[in-house]
Structure 1
Amino acid sequence: MVDEEAGEKGLVLGFLLDGKGGGRRISRAELDSLEAGPEEDLWLHWDRSHPEAQAWLRERSDLSEFTCDLLLEEETRPRLLPSGDQGVLLFLRGVNLNPGADPEDMVSLRVHGDSRRVISLRLRPLRAIDQIRQDIERGEGPRNSSELLLQMAFYLTSRVDELNDALSIQLDALEERLDMDEQALPDHGELLLIRRRAAGLKRYLAPQREIFAQLARQRFEWFSTDDAAYWNELHNSLTRNLEELEMSRERVAQLESLEQRRLGERTNKTMFLLTIVTVFFLPLSFFTGLLGINVGGMPGADNPQGFLWACALSALIAVGQWLVFRWLRWL
């Protein structure tokens, strides 16, 4: 993963968007004296854990104390709130693609947007932000604040598409392997991982879908004319993803049911074999036990051929039982 740059005093990225898809990179030192042109919108992306970032947000951003508290709070969930005059607060979640992390442990992105600037904060790096940076540097990025919000949401949603596809492929391979081998059992640990991953994604994507629906309905003056159509498309994309996640959970439930059924069949076969063996040797055990009674009058006790006759009778009993079991279709 191409990570975001380390940043300067908590500022991970800073751009002045030129209104044409490109932008000029700005440093933390330029920020205090920066004057944006009439066609330029400001984007500042901060590391919210950095003390310098927190200080700038509270002292220099001109945002209300309530807004700053929301942007810096430790725990949050996807939601949409108004911010000042025609501003908006967005709390979004993205797939965690950082090394060693679980993708379903989604990364929080907090955003304040208005007609001239976007202030975003993260705790852990997001690949979506790095992609937007690359687009701007190529001159193919967002032209203004509203398009920047759309691109953030788009790249976050596209990562969900990729993870959903990976879960479907994983389940397809598992089902194909089980179809080819009727005796095989699904990997229980793998099923639990898929179930946990689907549940974790659904937890955050369901409210995020509602955010996109609200943005499609709620028109801000600084939004572009066709923004509603794009937000609606993102809403539809998340709806499809949620449906696929629910389908994945159902497929996992079916595989777990198959696992229980095959385990039950194996147990029943084992118990059946043990029962047959027990029933087969029970008459022989009774016969040999009867012959082992150490009392007078035992027939054949004084006959030199007595042991051979006992073995022949045992064999006759065994053959008779085998014929009976075959007739009953137990063997």
Structure 2
Amino acid sequence: MFEEENAQWGLVHALVLDGKGGARSIARTELDDLQLQAHESLWLHWDRSHPQTHTWLRKSSGLSEFNCDLLLEENTRPRLLPLPNAELLLFLRGINLNPGAEPEDMVSVRIFASAQRVISLRLRPLRATDELLAQLAEGKGPENASELILYMAQYLTDKVQDLVTCLSEIVDGEEEKLDADERYAPEHDAILHIRRRAAGLKRFLAPQRDIFGQMSRTKLPWFLEDDGDYWNELNNSLTRYLEELELTRERVGLVLEAEDRRLSVRMNRTMYRFGIITGIFLPMSFLTGLLGINVGGIPFSESPYGFMVACLLMICVATGQWLLFRRLRWV
């Protein structure tokens, strides 16, 4: 019920975390008079494209004009911006798993976080937030604002692992086919598409890894004591995925190089055979052309055995050339 009412305001969902892993949903109209308990935290997840989101953010959120401009700007990249009063802005990217979308066209989620309040904005749906809602519904979700942004980053990173593994398996399959069948020719467009996807992922994941590293060193009063260890682990995970992406790009290059070498060897072999055939038939063509000129004095022109002699002569020449090529190891 609340979700349908909130959607009219551009509010995807409004949840109050109970400090025990669960949450309750509230209506948009309750925000102005909401009083949080000491153990509670508020999570507001907005649709950035909705006009009411812009209105609420600038007039009712209590955020400065500077913060609102950053949260609503058209294009952004992963970044971390500490703010006064132990607050922060955190911009992250997640795999685009929406139907018909390219996964490497990563979805942006912009987060404002303070001790008891998290405001997040998205333009397109995020699978990570759906999983987070499912955890809260089971009472196994984050207990406070610190854990909320950590959980969100964790779910975003997990989706990266699935895609990186998928790309690596595709390249594995191409390498196995090349090794098993020397006549197999991979589709260049499909292989190059894998390289482009890896490059697109790396574009956003590299700065996001650095942000996780910064978060592991950030010490805010409302952060839990072991948060730094979890952020550091996310940093290590993204580092591993970036290394895997780089390896995938190199392996794609090796697959293309192997195919180019095979084509080159095949072409050289074909041209070599044509060269041998041409070398054998060229002297015979010279003989037939010489004997075929329409002038007097052609040998055996009056003899009934002339054609047979000419054929034997060409066979001898061809045999001699063959033996010479074998001696020179050309064939």
Aligned partners of 1:220 and 1:190: how far apart in 2?
Answer: 47
* Counterpart for residue 266 of structure 2: 266
* Counterpart for residue 160 of structure 2: 160
Identity of aligned residues (%): 59
Q: Does structure 2 retain, via aligned residues, the 8 Å contact 1:185–1:262?
A: no
Q: Which runs of 5+ in 2 are unaligned?
A: none
* Counterpart for residue 79 of structure 1: 79
What amino acid sits opposite 2:77 in the alignment?
R
Superposed, which structure 2 residues align to 1:242-281 within 5 Å? Answer: 242-281=242-281
Task: Give a deviation string over 1:46-87, Cα, whole Å, max 9, x none.
Answer: 010100111111110000000000000010000100234110
* Counterpart for residue 232 of structure 2: 232
Task: Give a deviation string over 1:223-278, Cα, whole Å, max 9, x none.
Answer: 11111111111111111111111111111121122122111111111111111111
Give the match's secondary structure for 1:75: coil
Give the match's secondary structure for 2:143: coil
Aligned partners of 2:104 and 2:323: how far apart in 1?
Answer: 61
How far 1:121 moved relative to its partner? 0.3
What amino acid sits opposite 2:11 in the alignment?
L
How far 1:284 moved relative to its partner? 0.5
* Counterpart for residue 31 of structure 1: 31
Q: Does structure 2 retain, via aligned residues, the 8 Å contact 1:95–1:159?
A: yes
* Counterpart for residue 62 of structure 2: 62
State the number of aligned residues: 328
* Counterpart for residue 207 of structure 2: 207
- Superposition RMSD on alpha carbons, in Å? 1.5
How far 1:304 moved relative to its partner? 2.1
Task: Give a deviation string over 1:173-210, Cα, whole Å, max 9, x none.
Answer: 11111111133233212221111111111111111111
Correspondence 1:183 to 2:183: yes
* Counterpart for residue 108 of structure 1: 108
What amino acid sits opposite 2:158 in the alignment?
S
How far 1:294 moved relative to its partner? 1.0
Task: Give a deviation string over 1:150-192, Cα, whole Å, max 9, x none.
Answer: 0010000111111111111111111111111133233212221
Q: Does structure 2 retain, via aligned residues, the 8 Å contact 1:8–1:27?
A: no
Aligned partners of 1:229 and 1:139: how far apart in 2?
Answer: 24
* Counterpart for residue 299 of structure 1: 299
Q: Does structure 2 retain, via aligned residues, the 8 Å contact 1:91–1:109?
A: yes
What amino acid sits opposite 1:115 in the alignment?
A
How far 1:325 moved relative to its partner? 2.5
Q: Which runs of 5+ in 1 are unaligned?
A: none
Q: Does structure 2 retain, via aligned residues, the 8 Å contact 1:67–1:83?
A: no
State which drifts further: 312-321 or 139-148. 312-321
TM-score, normalised with respect to structure 1: 0.95
What amino acid sits opposite 2:330 in the alignment?
W
What amino acid sits opposite 2:31 in the alignment?
L
Give the match's secondary structure for 1:89: strand
Q: Does structure 2 retain, via aligned residues, the 8 Å contact 1:83–1:112?
A: no
State which drifts further: 31-40 or 207-216. 31-40
What amino acid sits opposite 2:299 in the alignment?
P
Aligned partners of 1:328 and 1:186: how far apart in 2?
Answer: 37
Task: Give a deviation string over 1:268-315, Cα, whole Å, max 9, x none.
Answer: 111111111111110011000100111111111111221222122222
How far 1:212 moved relative to its partner? 0.8
Give the match's secondary structure for 2:223: coil
* Counterpart for residue 143 of structure 1: 143
Q: Does structure 2 retain, via aligned residues, the 8 Å contact 1:284–1:314?
A: yes
Aligned partners of 2:170 and 2:248: how far apart in 1?
Answer: 10
What amino acid sits opposite 2:54 in the alignment?
Q
What amino acid sits opposite 1:36 in the alignment?
L
TM-score, normalised with respect to structure 2: 0.95
What amino acid sits opposite 1:18 in the alignment?
D
Give the match's secondary structure for 2:7: coil
* Counterpart for residue 173 of structure 1: 173
